Chain A
Amino acid sequence: MKKKTLLLFLVMLAFSIASVSSAGQSDSSAPAADENAPLVIAIEPDYFTFDPGYAYELYAPMVIGVVYDNLFQVIPSSDAPVPQLAKSYKVSDSGLVYTFTLRQDAKFTSGNPVMAKDVKFSFDRALNLQSNASALMDGIVSVDVVDDYTVSITIAKADSAFVSKTTSTAFAVLDSVVIMAQGGVSDSSAPTADKAQTYLDHQSAGSGPYILQSFTADDKLILVRNENYWGDLPEFKTIIIQDMPDENAQLLAVKGGDIDIAFNLSSDQLSQLDGSDVQVISGSTMTMGFLMMNNNPAIGKQVSDANVQKAIRYAVDYQGLQTLIGAGTVTPESFIQVGFMGSKDPINTSTQNNLKKAKDFLSKSAYPDGFSIDFTVCDLAPEGIPLTLIAEKIKSDLEKIGISINIVQDTWGGGFGDAYREGTVGFTAMYWGPDYYDPNTQLAFLPGQYVGLRAGWTGDMNPDLAGMYDKIVAEADLKTRTKMIKDVVTETGADSPFIVYAQYPKYIAASSALKGVNYSNLYRLDLAAVTK
């Protein structure tokens, strides 16, 4: 018995030691050398569906963007959408009917040709599912097949951003034959009758350069090249997107060569890559952080005073905030992000922060000697930077002009989100990312629009500015629209309940052997453009 017990212990011990000592010989740590080696990307995932009718998350477009084609697409070298499945389009004189002519050489992975009926089925389905994607299609009255390769879309109100909107994932074109066979429904019964999501979460039915081969939630996603793609073939035959929610694990893995691209490293972690075989690509996101001061005196209290708002505008240390957020941060003048049509150059942070001007405006307000106020901040962290950190910085900035703020912490899901949407938060820091790649999406911040109303900024407070919404949305001429947007920036940059404190940067750490790794606001990364 004694011998048996001892033997058991020894076997278990040997097993444990053997496991440890043999681990270093893992195949997984061997560098990828052959030409069939997959591209391996690590991200902290937020996606769970790749059904264009439902997807809304930040990283879903990275996958949907390469497995499906849209009528138009966004490419880095152009600030306006360029044709993808559409060859051309024309708009009716009323501005309400868009007629798209499709290219005739595009095929789905099933071999079926991409036709007008597929566009109609895909758009009708996304519109009728009543999902987050449907919200992006708001305003479409009907989608009609003109002939096999011509489709016309009628919208309720003239919309100068309509073609830009068609680049979003909601407008991806699906193989209607395959999707209907999988239980896809495009009529008004879709919210309950459609059963195609399960299929689309694990396989794709598109005409893009890649095919979704498999997806296991919380584990990995595999894309394989569509060898029959109608356009130029991408270089990598296989792409693996590995769930890696821990940033430190991503850092170690990209340094060790186990992965080729890491998506979620902070600027501090990037400095630890010095001397390694990893390049850091930085890009400016369209994610902007802003302070919101409620114009309703019952809610905003002291910060509803226009002179207080101007005082705060000059008291904020934008340069310090840029340092806090990380290299590559810029500060737009107002809520039209730098890079959008009609935007202006970033503000000069050294002159914008002017304590003398700040104090002058405060002295003209109803609170010349300063005041004390609650600043509510939630637990969100845009691009990895906690809003609480921003709140601490704002607190120290405003103390310099005699405004004492008391930071009140709240959680987004625990009540702050509802209060913020209902417009009952007085003074806060929040962030915003555009729904589609066009400055019109930012007009939601105008008085009377749904973000403006969250700051108690009603249309009657500034009827001229409020009226700009309809004018800009309806304006078909690009030059005129650009000028009108510039005017909005100038006016709201000087006086509004929103102070944009930063436009966040994004970093991608990638193996030095890779080329074509560029941050894209719509797709995060255009996977088809990556080469070695």
Chain B
Amino acid sequence: MSTLKFIVKRFLYLILLLFGVASCVFFISKMVPGDAVSAYLSPRSLSNPEIVDAFKAKWGLDDSLIVQYYHYIQNLMHLDLGVSIRTGNPVMDELKRSYPATMELAFFSILFASVFGILFGVISATKRNSLIDQTVRAISVTGVSIPSFWFAIIMLYIFYSRLGWAPGIGRLGVRIPNPLHITGMYVLDGLLTGNMNAVKDALQHLVLPSIVLGSFTMGLITRNTRSSLLETLSTDYIRTARAKGMGKGRIMFIHAFGNAAIPVLTVIGVGFGNLLGGMVVVEKIFSWPGVGQFAYQSVLALDFPAIVGVSLLIAVNYAIINIVIDILYGVIDPRVRVHR
């Protein structure tokens, strides 16, 4: 099957998947106890039937479930996710506002996780069973098991409060104006507009949350890189390469790492998807105005249109990441393309 056909097929699956997710999230949100009426209206308003009726009519909550579902799917087909009850703005606008902040943080987290995860994994495999190996393995276990809310507070306390090496919370210093909005990603917007002050400050603000958010994925990548490399290093062709007198570095990075990369790539892909789903805690602690923060506030307010919107966004992310990873498999290892 050609790569193009493969991609088209996967996108058709994606549409089906989104329809399924959208339907599930809609019906689950209608089944859970508690509703937007009692979450949003004050006790005094709830005692006034006219206000309750007006609220239900405004948000279409007085329609039957099937009619609500019909309108919801119809709107979805026009990429209309409805209006957030909490903020009064279209959910699509809220996601457009918050998504770049999350993507920026996710990108730097995965960059941190990949760079240090692969580096530690290679070192660990090369120095197998040495003190360095033991140390790196301990770091990776810590990275995987440390609770992010605790880690975030400790990092802030040490590097921001005690040492003063890192800035505090938020995407930029409170007193620094936001760069001109182009993509919504401050580093990129700062670079595009030549606002290097904002670029520098945004990068500094990315360090701590990226480390906290990326530590779990870094641990996974380290462990996978190490085990994949060790497995590959024990194969016959590596032994042959050694027998032919090839250098250690060339064996490691050209022959061994290329073959060990596929499982590592899978971990990076899954890790990236997890980052987007697991932003809530880190975004709350670092006051990061991203999708996680939006989801957190929406859940507290039982703002179902917003919750459904966030769920769909995360589903789309997972699906797209999986497609990209599948395509990359083929790029790294042509044998994968043959078997599609």
Contacts and interface: CB of A to CB of B under 8 A. Distances in A.
Interface of A: 1-2, 5-6, 9, 12-13, 16, 19-24, 26-29, 32, 37-38, 40, 48-49, 54, 56, 130-132, 134-136, 138, 191-192, 197-198, 201, 216-220, 240, 242-246, 248-249, 252-253, 255-256, 258-259, 411-415, 417-418, 421, 435, 450-451
B80 interface: no
Nearest to A4: B253
A388 B201 CA distance: 42
A136 B97 CA distance: 33
Contacts, number: 207
21 contacts: A9-B115, A16-B116, A20-B159, A23-B167, A26-B167, A26-B173, A27-B175, A29-B164, A37-B175, A38-B175, A48-B86, A49-B88, A132-B51, A135-B45, A201-B89, A217-B89, A218-B290, A245-B296, A252-B168, A415-B33, A415-B34
Contacts of B335: none
A12 B250 CA distance: 21
A255 B161 contact: yes
A28 B173 contact: yes
Contacts of B302: 413
A27 B47 CA distance: 51
Contacts of B250: 1-2
Given A191-B54, A252-B156, A258-B174, A23 B87 contact: no
A57 to B, nearest CB: 10
A19 B48 contact: no
B166 A23 contact: yes
B165 A20 contact: yes
B163 interface: yes
A411 B32 CA distance: 12
B39 interface: yes
B175 A20 contact: no
A417 B38 contact: yes
B176 interface: yes
Contacts of B172: 28
Contacts of B212: none
B331 interface: no
A249 B287 contact: yes
Contacts of A56: 42
Contact of A19 (B156, B161, B206): B206
A414 B118 CA distance: 45
A32 B176 CA distance: 12
Contacts of A414: 32-34
B297 interface: yes
B331 to A, nearest CB: 16
Contacts of A1: 250, 253-254
Nearest to A26: B167
Q: Top 4 nearest A-B pairs by Cβ distance?
A: A28-B173, A413-B34, A130-B54, A219-B289
B294 to A, nearest CB: 6
B253 A2 contact: yes
A29 B34 contact: no
A240 B174 contact: yes
Nearest to A259: B174
Nearest to B36: A413
Contacts of B156: 248-249, 252
A414 B32 CA distance: 7
Given A48-B86, A256-B161, A216 B97 contact: yes
Given A23-B207, A217-B94, A218-B289, A253 B168 contact: yes
Nearest to B89: A198
A6 B119 CA distance: 10
B173 A29 contact: yes
A218 B293 contact: yes
A248 B161 CA distance: 11
B46 interface: yes
B78 interface: no
Given A130-B55, A191-B57, A48 B88 contact: yes
Contacts of A6: 249, 253
Contacts of A27: 173, 175-176, 197, 201
Contacts of A136: 44
B173 A220 contact: no
A252 B157 contact: yes
